Amino acid sequence: MAIHAGTEGATSWGGVRVVTYTVRGRNTVGLHPWLVDFETKALRAEACWRAAREIKAQGFSPDLIMAHPGWGEALFLKQVWPQSKLVLYAEYFYRAVGADLGFDPEFGSEDPDAQACRVQLKNLNNLAHLDQAHAAISPTQWQADTFPDTWRQRIRVMHDGIDTDALCPLPDAQVTLGTLELSRSDEVITYVARHLDPYRGIHIFMRALPALLQLRPHARVVIVGGDGSGYGAAVPDGKSWRQIFVEEVKDAIPAQDWARVHFVGRLGRQAFTSLLQVSRVHVYLSYPFVLSWSLLEAMSVGCSIVASNTAPVREAITHGEHGELVDFFDGPGLVNQISCLLDDAKRRERLGSMARQRAVERYDLKRVCLPQHLTWINSLSRR
C-alpha cells in the first residue's frame, strides 16, 4: 500500500493500492524564517499520520514502511505502527560547508554564519526520521557520506536504476521538437536540467555560448529544462534564471548564431530519449549535490559527455574513460572539451560506448538495481 499527498480517496497503480490525503493548514504568519521549513514538513507529517490511522483502523499493518523523509510525511508513522520497520531513502544531509552551500561564490550567502544556523535547523527533519529508522538507502556513495557518521552505518548504497533497454543508442535516431528537426547527421550539443538554475550550472553554460557558437558555426545547441527556481535561492525580480542569463549573453551573440540555440522546456519521455540519441556531445554540470538521473540516462544512450569534475559526478564518470570532466567554473575549458570531442568521432564513439557499458553494469534497473533492492528489502522484512 502507498500513502500519497493529493486529492483524497483511494486508487491503484501497478497492483498497489494508493491512499491519498490532503494537507490542511498553512504556515504560521510571523513564524521565525528558520522554522518555516520544519513547520511545512510537520503539516505534511500530520496529514500523512491522519491517513495512516484511518487505514490502520481498516486492519492494515505493514512489515516495512519505506519513505523519503525530505518532505516530512513519515515523521509520525511509527506512532501508528510502532512494530513496523521504517526504511528511508537517504538522499541528502545538508552541510554548511563541503557540499553545495558555499561552493559557488557568485551565489553565496551574504551571512554564512546565519546560513549555517538555518541548515542546522533544516536537518532536524532528517535527524528526527533517522532516529526512528531501522535502515536507509542512498543512490551514491557521496550522498550517503553527507550523513553523520553515527547514521552512516545504517545506509546502504544502491542506485534507483534506469531502464537501459529503453535508453539505448539508435544509429538512425531523429527527433522533432516543434519546428526543430534533428538527426544524427546534425552537430547537436545538448544540455539538460530539471530547472535551469545555477545548481546545474546554467550560468556557466550560457556564458560559454558566445565562444562555443563562434567556434562551431554549424552546431545546434538544445537546452532542456523548466523555468522554476530549482534547488537554490529564489530568482530575483520575478524572472527566471533563463531570462537572466539570456539577457546577460545575448548581445555577445550574433542573431544568426542565436538562431541555433533552442530552449525546448521540459520534454516527454520519448522526445527526451530521442534527443539524447541524436546528441553528439552532452553537457552536464552540477554543484556537489544529488546526482541527476539525466546524466545516467545520457550515459545509457551512449552520449559523449562533458561533465563537471564535482562529486558525485566522479562516481559515474572517470575522466577520459566514460566522458570528459572539467572544472565547474572553467568556461573556456568547457568550450575546448566540447569542440575537441566534436572534432574527434573516434573518441566520441569510444567514450559513448564506455559510458553505456558503465550504465548497464552499474545502473541497469532490471538486472542490477531492482534485484539488489528486492534482496535488501526481503532481508529487512519480518516475514
φ/ψ (deg, to 5) at 319: -55, 130
Q: How far apart are CA 329 and CA 134, in angstroms?
A: 40
In the Cβ-directed half-sphere of 362, how many Cα atoms lie within 13 Å? 20
Q: How far apart are CA 274 and CA 170, in angstroms?
A: 8
Name, in order, each residue with C-beta under 8 angstroms of 8's C-beta and a sequence gap of 6 or more: 20, 21, 22
Neighbours of 77 (CB within 10 A): 24
**pTM for this structure?**
0.93
The closest of 283, 305, 287 to 359, measured between CA atoms, is: 305
* H helix or E strand, kind and range, residue 112: helix 112-122
pLDDT at 14: 82
DSSP letter for 172, please: T
Q: How far apart are CA 156 and CA 149, in angstroms?
A: 13
* H helix or E strand, kind and range, residue 343: none
Q: How far apart are CA 58 and CA 39, in angstroms?
A: 29
Show the CA angle centred on residue 376, arms to residues 370 and 378, nearest 5°.
100
Render the burial of 242-253: b for 16+ CB within 10 Å, e for the rest.
bebbbeebeeeb
pLDDT at 374: 95
**In one letter, which amino acid is 50?**
R
Mind listing the pLDDT tens digit of every residue in the chain (383 residues)? 676 676 656 687 888 888 888 998 899 999 999 999 999 999 999 999 999 999 999 999 999 999 999 999 999 999 999 999 999 999 999 999 999 999 999 998 889 999 999 999 999 999 999 999 999 999 999 999 999 998 888 899 999 999 999 999 999 999 999 999 999 999 999 999 999 999 999 999 999 999 999 999 999 999 999 998 888 877 878 889 999 999 999 999 999 999 999 999 999 999 999 999 999 999 999 999 999 999 999 999 999 999 999 999 999 999 999 999 999 999 999 999 999 999 999 999 999 999 999 999 999 999 999 999 999 999 998 55
Query: Helix, strand, or coil here: 79?
Result: helix
**In one letter, which amino acid is 10?**
A
pLDDT at 3: 67
Q: How far apart are CA 348 and CA 335, in angstroms?
A: 15
Cell 553565496 belongs to which residue? Answer: 108
